[in-house]
Chains A and B, each alone.
Chain A
Amino acid sequence: MLGGVEQQSWQLAHQLAARGVAVEVLTTCCASFNDDWAHNALPAGLERCGEIAIRRFKVDRRDRRAFARVNAILTGLDKSKLKRCVSPTGDNDARIWGENNLNSNALLNHLAAAHHQFDAFIFMPYLYGTTLAGLPIVAERAFLQPCLHDEAYAYLPVVEQVVHAAHGILFNSDGEFELAQRLFGPGIIKKSTVVGQGVEVPANPDSLAAQLAHFVPQDEKYVLYLGRQDSRKNIGLLVHAFGDFRRRNPMSRLKLVMAGHRTMSFGDSSRGIIDVGPVSESQKAALLSHARALVQPSTMESFSRVIMESWMMGRPVVVNEDCQATAPLVRQCRGGLLAGSVSSWENALHQVDTADASTLDAMGRLGREHAVRYSSWSRVIEGYERVLEFARDERPRLLNPAIPSLQQLCPAGAKAARRFADSLDRCFQRTRGGSSGTTSTGPGIGSLLLVHQASGYEDLTGWAPAHPNAALIYHAATNAGESDEAVDRSILARATAHYKFALASSPTALDGLRAAGFNNRGLLPICVDPRDWDCEQDRPLSKALQDGCTNLVYVGPFVSERALDNLLTAFLHYLTLERDSRLALVGMGDIDDGIYGRVQAKVRSLDLTDRVLLARDITEPQLQSVYRTAHLFWTLDESASFGESLLQAMWFDVPILAYKTPISSYFIGDAGLLLTNKDDLLAVAALAQMLVTDSDLRKKIITAQRLARKRFDAVKIVTSLLDQFAIAGETCA
């Protein structure tokens, strides 16, 4: 087995088979990653390996040179130049890369013909033609186990398409899941599971240790690099750092031992670098057990089996602090050291060299505790079984079978109320596993009727008496005048006789219901379901917004001119603090045309057209681009909207700086910062800058926002709504 993914798939297949799952491995006749991808080295056809059936297919012919040219461009790109949702190469090169990848038409034909024989498909890893072209054929039952790295391939459009097409995604580590969220947005959260990776305890080291001919591990003092010796694994950094370490510490006995397959050797015994090449499992165990520490300089890891194996042997590790998968693990369990630059690696090697054995053993012990807890195969396989069982059950989350459909009445022209109703409808359909539910502006009798009453719009409350299972949802106007409020009061007062209970879309609306005399009332937050964004975003807009500027974003109603004026002035202050910044003002929900026009004129008069992006009613992919490139969600709004954009910002991990209102207090709660006074707009701008630049503060707020958004989970909201109806139904009976 050359690499981690090959080992992982092999062990996974065997472990699943051992639990009684019928496993068939579909693969190609290509011998390995390092062989020619167009050469059929192994025979095509079915082969049995214990309980597992392995079916190999011939690979397609390919243009190696064309692929190598594009591949060289992709692998040569600096990581800092990679931008989310922006293709790292042109369309033509991306096509060449896909067409000349490791492809097998025979495998794809088999998938298309025999897909009904399987309950689920697991595709791994993400970057080969068999996954990129195969997954869409069986998307409804396809699970992608991407083994994702932060590398140029992950930014290709075809990869994002496959990620969004998959029914579910399985991750090896929390770090890999974090990276996937950053690359593909919050749309994948609900279909993702961190299953982890099982690691077996390495073989007994002592009996076979002597078989390493020229190197006797128990007599040496060394750090160990274990795995494929490939420049993409950042070995150059390790060798460079070790060379510097030896130059500065000529008396040190510490050696660097490199074990694993390689196409070129870094070994140089005069400089203390020992290349032992590929090793057997027992030799690996011997090397691990006597090493001072395992070193893993790679940033291209989704899990790193060797780290777990080292911990299983009670040895500490030194990992790259820029690796999103391994660094958080080491920070979490304190089972080793972190290093990034050459000098910090040199420093880490010095620490490993000079530390006493008890210090290294203590780190190794902490690592071992972590590895035993999280990487046992039984635990990992249980995770797979949970996910795959779920895939077999087409409609597992049927909440309340007593209510099969939803009917909503919404006043014509009430945009904000319509958005609320649409989001509720989408979530209801998903939660019910696809049962019908429509939003209508006309009357209709369904099993459940929700009547939306919005301030300033026609009175629809009269439809309720004809319906046995109806509730009123009241939306208070964000810019209601006294006359509107009086009309609302009289409408709601009449409605108390017809509705058993009423729901409010905001705290202000809830006050309205209380004043009208509804005893059975509650707050129904808007359903913001991240699955709405499980699709591609607007690539040109994403590219334009990632031009190096700081993006400050406001999305919401345009009903308070004062609040928008304040925001523009605060942004002018912000420009004096940070020249390269942009304010995106996006009108959503209630938009007063007059106010929108005046804001537009003001932006023009201030000559801010290149700094302020003003838009209204943008599409969902565009909205996704705006949020995903945002550094801060900034609102000084005082109106009583229902806070949809606050929840959206939380899902996109954009820190929020909001003026304190009933709705912002309700949603943000303990998650973020609320302004209680906005008289000093220079101070407001300075605070916004702190939130943009202070990474610790951002991290705290984003962590709290992730907890806060769970409280408003769309499934929970729909469940509680249906539960209320079930109770109401029993009372009626």
Chain B
Amino acid sequence: MLESLNREIDVEALMLRLRGRVSDLEQQGHHELLPSDAVALRNSVFINSLEAFVNTADQKAQIRAQWPSLLAGFFFNIPAIRRALLDGLAFLFKDQRHVNLALVAAFRESISLNRQLIEQFDLLRKDHEDLKKNAGRDFSG
């Protein structure tokens, strides 16, 4: 499948890596998606990306327990001050955190609903295609 005259590139090792990667992907069901139903694949990619955003938001909405590594200095190196500042921040943004968590939960529900709708739309489309085929056969018969 692959050819290279570049002596620096070990084609056999590269092919071995590639086979391993493809085998992993096939086990995850990538081939079943393509190329017969690229629209479904596109939707799945889209939904996955939404989920990634929600995961990031969810992660950031939690109470911060670790001091940011960029914020260091004589004053900020004292553990008691760090703890007090973190507690203060958690208290100040308590309401905002509740709003964020509620929004994340709502968005998750929305994604789940979207996924169901896409599945139902797919089923309907398949039914419609079957009906069309059968109707055509009935008429031609």
Where the two chains meet, the residues of A that have a C-beta atom closer than 8 Å to any C-beta of B are 240, 569, 572-573, 575-577, 579, 606-608, 660, 669-677, 680-683, 686-687, 690, 697, 700-701, 703-704
Contacts and interface: CB of A to CB of B under 8 A. Distances in A.
B65 interface: no
A576 B3 contact: no
A576 B9 CA distance: 27
Given A671-B6, A674-B4, A687-B18, 17 more contacts: A569-B34, A572-B34, A573-B34, A576-B45, A579-B48, A606-B39, A660-B3, A673-B2, A673-B9, A682-B26, A683-B18, A686-B21, A686-B22, A687-B2, A690-B18, A700-B6, A700-B8
> Would you call the interface of chain A mostly helix, strand, loop, or mixed?
helix
B22 A572 contact: no
B71 interface: no
A672 B14 CA distance: 13
Interface residues of B, number: 31
A598 to B, nearest CB: 15
B6 A569 contact: no
> Would you call the interface of chain B mostly helix, strand, loop, or mixed?
helix
A579 B49 contact: yes
B2 A675 contact: yes
A329 B117 CA distance: 59
Contact of A700 (B9, B22, B52): B9
7 contacts: A569-B34, A576-B30, A669-B5, A676-B2, A682-B30, A682-B34, A687-B14
Contacts of A672: 4, 6
Nearest to A240: B72
A575 B40 CA distance: 13
Interface string B1-44: 11111111100001001100110011000110111001101101
Nearest to B20: A686
Given A686-B22, A686-B25, A704-B8, A576 B2 contact: no
Given A671-B6, A683-B1, A687-B18, A572 B25 contact: no
Contacts of A608: 42
A578 to B, nearest CB: 10
B3 A606 contact: no
Contact of B42 (A573, A607, A686, A690): A607
A682 to B, nearest CB: 6
Contacts of B33: 576
A686 B1 CA distance: 13
A606 B22 contact: no
B26 to A, nearest CB: 7
Contact of B5 (A573, A670, A690): A670
Contacts of A575: 41-42, 45
A18 B76 CA distance: 57
Nearest to A699: B8
Nearest to B42: A607
The residue among A569, A576, A606, A687 with the most chain B CB atoms within 10 A of its own CB is A576
Q: Which 6 A-B pairs have the closest CB atoms?
A: A670-B5, A700-B8, A677-B1, A686-B21, A674-B3, A569-B35
B31 A682 contact: yes
A690 B21 contact: yes
Given A573-B34, A577-B25, A700-B6, A680 B42 contact: no
Contacts of A240: 72
The residue among B7, B22, B44 with the most chain A CB atoms within 10 A of its own CB is B22
The residue among B2, B14, B31 with the most chain A CB atoms within 10 A of its own CB is B2
A690 B6 contact: no
B1 A573 contact: no
B5 A606 contact: no
Contacts of A660: 3
Contacts of A669: 5
B6 A606 contact: no
A342 B33 CA distance: 46
B38 A676 contact: no
Contacts of B48: 579
B1 A675 contact: yes
A179 B103 CA distance: 45
A725 B18 CA distance: 49
Nearest to A689: B21
A703 B34 CA distance: 35
Contacts of A687: 2, 14, 18
A192 to B, nearest CB: 26
A607 B39 contact: yes
Nearest to A608: B42
A579 B25 contact: no
A287 to B, nearest CB: 29
A700 B11 CA distance: 13
B30 A573 contact: yes
B61 to A, nearest CB: 22
Contacts of A677: 1
A509 B8 CA distance: 32
Nearest to B69: A342
A576 B41 contact: yes
Nearest to B28: A576
A670 B8 CA distance: 10
A671 B31 CA distance: 31
A448 B44 CA distance: 60
A690 B16 CA distance: 12
Contacts of B72: 240
Contacts of A674: 2-4
Contact of A572 (B5, B18, B21, B42): B42
Nearest to B43: A607
A249 B17 CA distance: 43
B121 to A, nearest CB: 13
Contact of A676 (B1, B6, B9): B1
A606 B34 CA distance: 12
A577 B34 CA distance: 13
A202 to B, nearest CB: 37
Nearest to B48: A579
A660 B4 CA distance: 10
A569 B49 CA distance: 20
A670 B4 contact: yes
Given A607-B39, A680-B22, A687-B18, A701 B9 contact: yes
Contacts of B38: 569, 572, 606
Contacts of B5: 669-670
Nearest to B7: A670
Contacts of B14: 673, 687, 690, 697
